[in-house]
């Protein structure tokens, strides 16, 4: 009997490499049970981290304005409302969240959205029924990180990890206060790293995990199997409001940088280049030698980029030797460098790679715009920007170009995404002032051409032929 089994096994093994197909066969593996009488548990690994995660209660006073009509005496009498009820009333909005103790003297990291606009913040420690009043040290809406502080010494401080060393598939635990039920732990793995363009924060480099993160977990800890902090739980992707196995945490390296500045300066300073940027889509990739980077759509006046000579159409591929994959990557890299620092930028212009040194400025509000489009042009009706058109459409005098007055339905221009009202401001290196400039530029440049348009104040780029 044993001989027959062996022969059959040999035949099956031979079948795996039969013909010209050779499969990569995994070696045999032994199935094992936990040691008899022992329970597999991570309790000791996360015990310290659990003592570092706190519950946060935030209160915000919201004034409710009474409609103007109800202030009339007739309405007060009709609805039998005393005069006192006509005054604006205050409503208390309460929110629950979590936080992580990062220093022994009471500094706690949480999400900005947990304490944003709060008039009062209180903290409850694990195993302690006392409620501690917290002071908001600083908030950073761009990364959704905030730091608060309670007056208490000798607190357990969480151990910090290095989020640059994480790998997809690592075992993780989310610790927090979901739905206000108290401290709890959920287990999962790292599903993905470097998630951006989620539209959650201005600066994004999320850790994605399937560890259950629910309302109230915000600001809590994401730790590895050693109990070391690797991220701050921030958001979930859901349609129902419940956890669907897609949660996001802010990586601990970003948290450390932001929290340090908030504690030391009360605010976070971001490096500023002064450009509007776009990703390289498949059509744009055909225009450049490099297939990764951030393409410049516009350069703001009186900015580091302008002073350094960077131009619309340049493709930024490196900053201080670090490769730039896309627009979000450039934004995160530049933002992580303090204002006043000089950086070396490598960029592609006219198929050649050049380098320039740029001294970064401080990031002003509402400057980064990431837009992009693609297409092949045909079927456009263009008009010069006359004073009458400017007055009718409210176009400022400092915007030069030609306006798209009509896009023929079903035409190549329509398929490409051109819209009536778009203002063509530049084609390749040629600035556009009138329709004749468009005609000259289309003849001057052969092959694929980059067309820059102003659409309701946002710069977009299209590739035409």
Residue 315 within a domain: yes
**Mean pLDDT of all residues belonging to the chain:** 81
Same domain, 169 and 256: yes
Residue 250 lies in a domain: yes
**187 with 217, same domain?**
yes
For residue range 207-251, list pLDDT tens digits in order: 999 888 877 778 899 999 999 999 999 876 655 555 566 889 999
Residues 446 and 386 in one domain: yes
**CATH number for position 433:** 2.30.42.10
pLDDT digits (tens, 9 = 90+) for 259-313: 999 999 888 888 999 888 888 888 888 889 999 999 998 888 889 999 999 999 9
Of the three residues 333, 362, 391, the one that is the final residue of a domain is: 362
Segments forming the whole domain that contains residue 443: 380-464
Which of 265, 281, 306 is a domain's end point? Answer: 265
176 and 144 both lie in a single domain: no
Question: Is the domain of 171 the same as that of 259?
Answer: yes
Phi, psi of 50 (to 5 degrees): -65, -35
Tell me how many domains the chain contains: 4
Final residue of a structural domain among 362, 391, 406? 362
Residue 117: inside a domain: yes
Q: Is the pTM of this model over 0.95?
A: no
> Is the domain of 337 the same as that of 291?
yes
Taking only the tens place, the pLDDT of each residue in 399-451 is 889 998 888 776 777 777 778 888 999 988 889 988 888 888 887 887 778 88
- Catalytic residues, by residue number, are 113, 144, 218
What confidence tens digit (pLDDT) does each residue in 150-199 have? 999 999 999 999 998 999 999 999 998 865 566 789 999 999 998 776 66
Residue 259 sits in the same domain as residue 174: yes
Residue 88 within any structural domain of the chain: no
Residue 7 within any structural domain of the chain: no
| 200 falls within a domain | yes
CATH code of the domain in which 145 resides: 2.40.10.10
């Amino acid at each position: 009997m044993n001989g027959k089994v062996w022969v059959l096994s040999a035949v099956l093994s031979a079948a795996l490499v039969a013909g010209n197909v050779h499969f990569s066969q995994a070696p045999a593996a032994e199935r094992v049970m936990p040691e008899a009488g022992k329970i597999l548990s991570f309790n000791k690994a996360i015990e310290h981290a659990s003592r570092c995660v706190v519950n946060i209660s935030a209160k915000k006073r919201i004034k409710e304005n009474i409609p103007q009509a109800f202030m009339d005496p007739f309405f007060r009498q009709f609805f039998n409302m005393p005069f006192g009820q006509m005054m604006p009333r205050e409503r208390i909005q309460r929110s629950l969240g979590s936080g992580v103790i990062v220093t022994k003297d009471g500094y706690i990291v949480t999400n900005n959205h947990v304490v944003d606009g709060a008039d009062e913040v209180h903290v409850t420690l694990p195993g302690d029924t006392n409620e501690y009043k917290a002071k908001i040290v600083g908030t950073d809406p761009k990364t959704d990180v905030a730091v608060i502080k309670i007056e208490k010494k000798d607190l357990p401080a969480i151990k910090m990890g290095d989020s640059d060393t994480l790998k997809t598939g690592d075992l993780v635990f989310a610790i927090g206060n979901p739905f206000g039920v108290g401290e709890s732990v959920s287990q999962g793995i790292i599903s993905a790293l470097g998630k951006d363009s989620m539209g959650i924060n201005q600066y994004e480099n999320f850790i994605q995990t399937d560890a259950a993160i629910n309302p109230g977990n915000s600001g809590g800890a994401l730790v590895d199997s050693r109990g070391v902090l690797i991220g701050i739980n921030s958001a979930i992707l859901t349609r129902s409001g419940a956890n669907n196995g897609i949660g996001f945490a802010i990586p601990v390296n970003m948290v450390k940088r932001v929290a340090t500045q908030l504690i030391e300066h009360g605010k976070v300073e971001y490096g500023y280049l002064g450009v509007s940027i776009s990703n390289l889509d498949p059509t744009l990739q055909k225009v450049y030698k490099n297939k990764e980077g951030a393409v410049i759509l516009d350069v703001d006046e009186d900015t580091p980029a302008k002073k350094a000579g960077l131009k619309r159409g340049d493709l930024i591929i490196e900053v201080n030797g670090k490769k730039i994959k896309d627009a979000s990557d450039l934004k995160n890299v530049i933002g992580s460098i303090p204002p006043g620092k000089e950086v070396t930028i490598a960029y592609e212009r006219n198929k050649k790679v050049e380098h320039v040194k740029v001294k970064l400025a401080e990031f002003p509000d509402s400057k980064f715009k990431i837009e992009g489009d693609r297409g092949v042009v045909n079927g456009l009706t263009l008009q010069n920007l006359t004073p009458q058109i400017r007055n009718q459409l409210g176009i400022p005098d400092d915007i030069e170009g030609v306006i798209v007055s009509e896009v023929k339905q079903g035409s190549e221009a329509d398929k490409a995404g051109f819209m009536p009202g778009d203002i063509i401001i530049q084609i390749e290196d040629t600035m556009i002032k009138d329709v004749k400039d468009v005609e000259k530029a289309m003849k001057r440049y052969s092959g694929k051409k980059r067309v820059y348009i102003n659409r309701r104040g946002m710069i977009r780029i299209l590739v035409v032929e």
